[in-house]
Amino acid sequence: MSRIAYVNGQYALHGEASVHIEDRGYQFADGVYEVINIDGGRFVDEEAHLDRLDRSLDELRIAWPMSRRAMKLVMRQVVHRNMIKDGLIYIQITRGVAPRDHGFPHGIPPSIVMTAKTFKSLPAEQPDDVGVAAITHPDIRWSRPDIKSVALLPNILCKQKAREAGAYEALLVDSAGYVTEGSSTNVWIVTKNNEVVTRAANENAILNGITRQAFIKLMAADGLSFVERKFTIAEALEAKECFITASSTRIKSVVSIDGKPVGNGHPGETVARLRRLYWTAAEAGGVLPKVPTNIREKR
């Protein structure tokens, strides 16, 4: 079956969908995006993703292209037309189309694109029996990675370095020697005292991942000891476990960093436990609460 995309009010064949050459997302990376998992036909943590989309748009002063209610209807149409049961939907919103100029244009509507694709994540009962390797890399991104911007060139360069080194992920390290996050993931460690640690999201140094938020809530409900603080690569290597999370990754053990083993060099019990908890919640539609918000419907 041919894939279907949504572009600015129209549904089109994926291979024929296009945006204007002067779309500011294309020329300036002047836009934001979200990726929402679909499990068993359900959007996982949909409200939390849309809340973060709203925050990203607000930080860049980009208007919503439609109401939140309309957005949800289009999302469901894209999933329906692509016959997605397990997969993801990608949403991208840019400032719009205008003659190239660095300043904000006036009176133009934002552009929106949605695509969806099928993929099947590992079931909870399948053991994470190998883990993945990671390398370290200086954090070369701009100073606002908390915004889910389409300006991902630094992330791409870091990810490519990891692949060329035969690794899955690059762990980014700030100028003070502390881990911020991965090129496309949040990073965690489990100390020898069984404390789960990840960097705080209140200083604009990392993206506050929706999957990150979900795991924090799961840990609290399950009684796991958890703290948000900075940690170094040396501490990660001495930890019992290290792992990464993201919407596309869910959760993966990191068993080596720069060729050195993390802990005993094997996935640990904490990751296996968290995978089971997350998958059970995801199958029910997500972890984060679905509550009324003060999100702007239209601006």
Long-range contacts at 48-56 (CB < 8 A, ≥ 24 apart): 48/210, 48/213, 48/214, 48/286, 48/288, 49/210, 50/295, 51/293, 51/295, 52/148, 52/208, 52/210, 53/91, 53/93, 53/148, 54/295, 54/296, 55/147, 56/32, 56/147, 56/148, 56/149
Instruction: Say if residues 87 and 116 touch (Cβ distance below 8 Å).
Output: yes
Q: Quote the CA–CA distance of 201 and 180 in Å, as a whole number.
A: 10
* Alpha-carbon distances of 38 from 144, 148, 257, 283, rounded to whole Å: 28, 19, 31, 9
Task: Give the active site residue among 148, 192, 217, 260.
Answer: 148
HEC letters along 109-133: CCEEEEEEEECCCCCCCCCCCCCEE
Q: Quote the CA–CA distance of 49 and 137 in Å, as a whole number.
A: 28
State yes or no: is 120 an active-site residue. no
Q: Quote the CA–CA distance of 268 and 271 in Å, as a whole number.
A: 6
List residues with catalytic annotation: 148
